[in-house]
């Protein structure tokens, strides 16, 4: 190299040494850098630890998911994919009914009747998801399954279906494979209380155990109180069922009752006082277990009703079980309308309404209800309808009332002669007294039982209406005068305490009914007191109005109002007959004239009675 090159290299080296000296960091800067390096090292170690923990967590989570998947597979087999999903709700409704269907179980969760409300103005729900069970149980791959625990999917993906203009339906499917599922199909038509419900088992022959010849449909519900008087409402809440070719029957309305039915059943009804949920088979159910449990008085629900229904299973590619649900009011004509099968045969759903046994039911069905329905077409006030119905019944029975009064009047005018017989014959000769009295009646042409037959004819009307008014849907939440609901008690005073058997209120219509019965009892007692042979009878007669006061205080005010009007009308009839139609002197003269007539020949029946009386007298 030449001198210039050497000089240049030395100059560059001097510059580098000078730059290094001039840019050397101070001690403070060195310490600060060391601090930053230490912090960076700690952060790197911390981040590495977090990452290691995250990876370990992912591994544990994966292991747990894998374990849960294995557990689900072991528990649910091919149905494992239908577990642990999110609940969604679908509504199916028309003008009358709104159904809420839950994807969990594919089931009816809530049933609301849109036209009606509870006594405290809340939406009327026949049953709710939290208080009910609804699903099919079976064995699949040797594992017990219940569709209520599994998630369904809605075939069309809708969340709300309006059936107010045309027939609409919802199909809920518990999917196992493309051609393997359990399906619930719900269909609703406009302006209808009836819901078509079909259970389909599709492609399940390789899943459901081969030795299985049935699956079990479980339906259970806690029935809430809808009306004003819980105790009274509970008496009309029960589990009803209709045998395919036989009568309608029901489980006990109190306590606990159950039935295991081997006979074919057409329908099963969870019946309350004014509303019912009825499951109807297209053909019939065979193998049904029913149970009813009465709840405590302070429980939020009235009864727990349950039905286990056996559905036949044959292992076919498609197994279908068509049924129907009726969700609606217990109105006689409505139940008659919906109570027809596909062939038009009456399946007697109207017998959910207990109108009484035999003749009492006939009186209600063929006399009271037609008149009541006729008056409904012209009059909107049900208090007036009851008044007119009462007058019609009393006018129809007026001839019997007159005959009964005439029989009582005859007994009354003969009382002095009967007293004379009793004074003449000692008490210890009761048989002679009786024979002499009967002889007097026979001579005078008086039948001592003549007043009983008219009363016996009127008795079916009294009992029939006793059954009709509490079960009459038309009276529900209908007001009249001070009564806000003719189907429940009319409270004018609320007591600060509860009186056993009486209640915690005072019903005015019940008071009026008891008062008129007391007046009528006094009037009737004055007419029928012919002797002192039964002194306790008068006391018993006066005790009855007091017993009515206790019995009817919690009953339907419409019933108490009817009995009040009927008794008041009877009092007016009695006064009118006594004042304008019957004269005691003329009655006595007629009886004295009868005594002078030749005695009628005794019938064989009379002879046998007299002979039996003589034989008892000898003993």
Domain of residue 396, residue span: 361-604
Residue 55 lies in a domain: yes
Question: How high is the pLDDT of residue 97?
Answer: 93
**Measured between alpha carbons, how far is 485 from 509 in angstroms, rounded to an integer?**
12
Domain shared by 303 and 366, yes or no: no
Question: How high is the pLDDT of residue 587?
Answer: 59
Total domains, the chain: 3
pLDDT exceeds cutoff 90 at 266:
yes
Quick one: average pLDDT of 478-493?
87
What are the angstrom distances between the C-alpha of 406 and each of 123, 125, 399, 401, 417?
56, 55, 11, 9, 18
**Measured between alpha carbons, how far is 125 from 117 in angstroms, rounded to an integer?**
9
Q: Which residue has the higher pLDDT, 190 or 453?
A: 190
Q: Which residue has the higher pLDDT, 161 or 292?
A: 292
Quick one: average pLDDT of 265-278?
93
Helix (H, G, I), strand (E, B) or coil at 600: coil
Q: Locate tokens 């560059």: which residue? A: 12
Question: How high is the pLDDT of residue 154?
Answer: 86
Q: How confident is the model at residue 532 (pLDDT cuts 50, 70, 90)?
A: very low
In terms of C-beta distances under 8 Å and separation of at least 24 residues, what long-range contacts does 351-356 make, across chains too? Answer: 351/240, 351/242, 351/248, 352/240, 352/248, 352/269, 352/271, 352/276, 352/278, 353/471, 354/236, 354/467, 354/471, 355/464, 355/467, 355/468, 355/471, 356/463, 356/464, 356/466, 356/467, 356/468
Domain shared by 317 and 391, yes or no: no
Contact 468, 368 (CB under 8 A): yes
Domain shared by 133 and 208, yes or no: yes
Residue 171 lies in a domain: yes
Q: Examine the fold and report which residue of 354, 386, 416 is the final residue of a domain before the chain moves on.
A: 354
pLDDT exceeds cutoff 60 at 202:
yes
Helix (H, G, I), strand (E, B) or coil at 454: helix
Residue 145 lies in a domain: yes
Quick one: average pLDDT of 452-459?
65
- pLDDT tens across 426-437, in order? 666 667 666 666
Domain shared by 149 and 117, yes or no: yes
Q: Which two tokens stand for residue 383?
A: 């208090």
Q: pTM for this one?
A: 0.76
Q: Write the CATH number for 112.
A: 2.70.98.90
pLDDT exceeds cutoff 60 at 85:
yes
Polymer length in residues for the chain: 619
pLDDT exceeds cutoff 80 at 404:
no
| Positive/negative CA dihedral, 573, 579, 581, 582 | positive
**Measured between alpha carbons, how far is 80 from 176 in angstroms, rounded to an integer?**
9
| Phi and psi, residue 277, nearest 5° | -115, 115
Question: How high is the pLDDT of residue 269?
Answer: 93
Q: Which residue has the higher pLDDT, 418 or 286?
A: 286
Domain shared by 454 and 508, yes or no: yes
Question: How high is the pLDDT of residue 6?
Answer: 76
Neighbours of 104 (CB within 10 A): 21
Residue 617 lies in a domain: no
Q: Locate tokens 């939290």: which residue? A: 130
Among 222, 193, 217, CA closest to 128: 222
Question: How high is the pLDDT of residue 367?
Answer: 86
Choice among 59-73, 283-297, 487-501, 549-563 with the minimum mean pLDDT? 59-73
What are the angstrom distances between the C-alpha of 9 and each of 4, 18, 22, 23?
9, 14, 20, 21
Contact 573, 522 (CB under 8 A): no
Quick one: average pLDDT of 526-531?
50
- pLDDT tens across 410-451, in order? 666 666 776 666 666 766 666 766 666 666 666 565 666 555
Residue 612 lies in a domain: no
Question: How high is the pLDDT of residue 569?
Answer: 87
Q: What angle do CA 260, 264, 266 make, to 5 degrees?
A: 105
Domain shared by 488 and 385, yes or no: yes
- pLDDT tens across 370-382, in order? 888 888 888 889 8
Residue 1 lies in a domain: no
Quick one: average pLDDT of 10-23?
72
Q: Which residues have C-beta within 8 Å of that of residue 234, sequence separation ≥ 6?
A: 225, 253, 294, 302, 303
Contact 119, 477 (CB under 8 A): yes
Domain shared by 42 and 188, yes or no: no
Question: How high is the pLDDT of residue 158?
Answer: 67
Residue 13 lies in a domain: no
Question: Where is 20: in which H helix or E strand?
Answer: helix 3-23
Domain shared by 376 and 448, yes or no: yes
**How far is Cα of residue 45 from the mean position of the Cα atoms in its chain?**
71
Domain shared by 526 and 514, yes or no: yes
Among 312, 324, 344, CA closest to 281: 324
Choice among 336-340, 358-362, 442-446 with the minimum mean pLDDT? 442-446
Contact 487, 476 (CB under 8 A): yes
- pLDDT tens across 125-183, in order? 998 888 889 999 988 877 888 898 899 988 776 677 777 777 788 999 988 887 889 99
Question: How high is the pLDDT of residue 586?
Answer: 61
Q: How confident is the model at residue 545 (pLDDT cuts 50, 70, 90)?
A: confident
Question: How high is the pLDDT of residue 193?
Answer: 94
Among 353, 134, 312, CA closest to 222: 134
Phi-psi region of 455 (alpha: psi -120 to 50; beta: other; left: phi over 0): alpha
**Measured between alpha carbons, how far is 270 from 238 in angstroms, rounded to an integer?**
7
Across all residues in the chain, what is the average pLDDT? 80
Contact 219, 125 (CB under 8 A): no
Contact 307, 251 (CB under 8 A): no
Cross-strand partners of 276:
271, 328
Domain shared by 201 and 98, yes or no: yes
Question: How high is the pLDDT of residue 605?
Answer: 46
Q: Locate tokens 């002192």: which residue? A: 532
Contact 410, 444 (CB under 8 A): yes
Domain shared by 73 and 114, yes or no: no
Q: Which residue has the higher pLDDT, 578 or 228?
A: 228
The overall longest dimension of the chain from CA atoms, in Å, is 187
Residue 420 lies in a domain: yes
Q: Examine the fold and report which residue of 298, 323, 354 is the final residue of a domain before the chain moves on.
A: 354
Question: How high is the pLDDT of residue 119?
Answer: 87
Question: How high is the pLDDT of residue 98?
Answer: 93
Question: How high is the pLDDT of residue 468?
Answer: 85
3-state secondary structure labels for all residues of 188-223: ECCCCCEEEEEEEEECCCCCECCCCCEEEEEEEEEE
pLDDT exceeds cutoff 80 at 607:
no
**Measured between alpha carbons, how far is 520 from 574 in angstroms, rounded to an integer?**
9
Domain shared by 454 and 596, yes or no: yes
Q: How confident is the model at residue 254 (pLDDT cuts 50, 70, 90)?
A: confident
Q: Which two tokens stand for residue 47?
A: 């981040």
Contact 169, 185 (CB under 8 A): yes
Q: How confident is the model at residue 574 (pLDDT cuts 50, 70, 90)?
A: confident
Question: How high is the pLDDT of residue 198?
Answer: 93
């Amino acid at each position: 190299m030449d001198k210039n090159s050497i000089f240049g290299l030395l100059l560059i080296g001097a510059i580098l040494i000078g730059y290094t000296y001039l840019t050397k960091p101070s001690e403070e800067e060195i310490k600060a850098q060391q601090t930053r390096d230490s912090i960076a090292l700690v952060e790197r170690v911390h981040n590495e630890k977090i990452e290691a923990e995250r990876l370990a967590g992912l591994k544990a989570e994966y292991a747990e998911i894998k374990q849960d998947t294995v557990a689900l597979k072991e528990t649910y087999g091919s149905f494992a994919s239908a577990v642990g999903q999110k609940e969604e709700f679908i509504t199916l409704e028309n003008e009358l009914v709104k159904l809420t269907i839950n994807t969990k179980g594919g089931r009816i969760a809530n049933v609301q009747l849109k036209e009606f409300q509870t006594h405290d103005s809340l939406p009327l729900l026949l049953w709710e998801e939290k208080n009910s069970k609804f699903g099919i149980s079976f064995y699949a791959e040797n594992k017990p399954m219940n569709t209520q625990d599994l998630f369904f999917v809605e075939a069309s993906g809708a969340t709300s279906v309006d059936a107010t203009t045309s027939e609409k339906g919802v199909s809920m499917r518990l999917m196992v494979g493309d051609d393997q599922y359990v399906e619930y199909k719900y269909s609703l038509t406009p302006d209808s209380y009836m819901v078509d419900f079909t259970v389909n088992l599709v492609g399940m022959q390789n899943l459901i155990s081969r030795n299985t010849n049935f699956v079990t449909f479980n339906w259970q519900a806690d029935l809430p109180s809808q009306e004003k008087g819980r105790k009274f409402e509970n008496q009309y809440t029960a589990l009803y069922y209709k045998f395919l070719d036989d009568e309608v029957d029901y489980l006990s309305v109190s306590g606990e009752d159950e039935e295991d039915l081997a006979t074919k059943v057409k329908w099963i009804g969870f019946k309350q006082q004014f509303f019912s949920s009825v499951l109807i088979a297209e053909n019939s159910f065979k193998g049904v277990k029913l149970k009813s449990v009465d709840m405590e008085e302070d429980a939020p629900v009235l009864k727990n009703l349950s039905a286990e229904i056996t559905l036949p299973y044959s292992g076919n590619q498609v197994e279908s079980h068509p049924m129907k649900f009726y969700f609606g009011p217990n109105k006689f004509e409505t139940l008659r309308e919906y109570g027809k099968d596909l062939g038009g045969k009456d399946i007697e759903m109207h017998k959910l309404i207990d109108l009484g046994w035999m003749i009492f039911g006939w009186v209600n069905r063929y006399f009271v209800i037609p008149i009541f329905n006729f008056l409904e077409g012209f009059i909107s006030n049900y208090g007036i309808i009851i008044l007119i119905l009462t007058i019609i019944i009393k006018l129809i029975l007026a001839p019997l009332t007159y005959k009964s009064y005439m029989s009582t009047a005859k007994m009354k005018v003969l009382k002095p002669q009967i007293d004379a017989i009793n004074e003449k014959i000692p008490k210890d000769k009761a048989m002679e007294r009786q024979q002499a009295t009967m002889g007097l009646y026979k001579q005078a042409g008086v039948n001592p039982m003549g007043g009983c037959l008219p009363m016996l004819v009127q008795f079916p009307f009294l009992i029939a209406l006793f059954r009709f008014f509490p079960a009459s849907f038309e009276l529900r939440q209908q007001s009249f005068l001070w009564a806000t609901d003719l189907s429940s008690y009319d409270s004018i005073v609320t007591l600060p305490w509860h009186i056993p058997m009486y209640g915690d209120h005072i019903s005015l219509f019940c008071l009026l009914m008891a008062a008129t019965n007391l007046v009528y009892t006094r009037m009737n007692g004055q007419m029928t007191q012919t002797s002192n042979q039964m002194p306790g009878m008068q006391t018993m007669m006066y005790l009855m109005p007091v017993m009515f006061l206790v019995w009817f205080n919690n009953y339907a005010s419409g019933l108490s109002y009817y009995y009040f009007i009927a008794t008041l009308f009877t009092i007016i009839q009695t006064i009118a007959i006594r004042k304008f139609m019957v004269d005691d002197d003329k009655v006595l003269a007629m009886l004295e004239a009868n005594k002078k007539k030749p005695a009628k020949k005794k019938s064989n029946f009379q002879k046998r009675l007299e002979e039996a009386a003589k034989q008892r007298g000898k003993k």
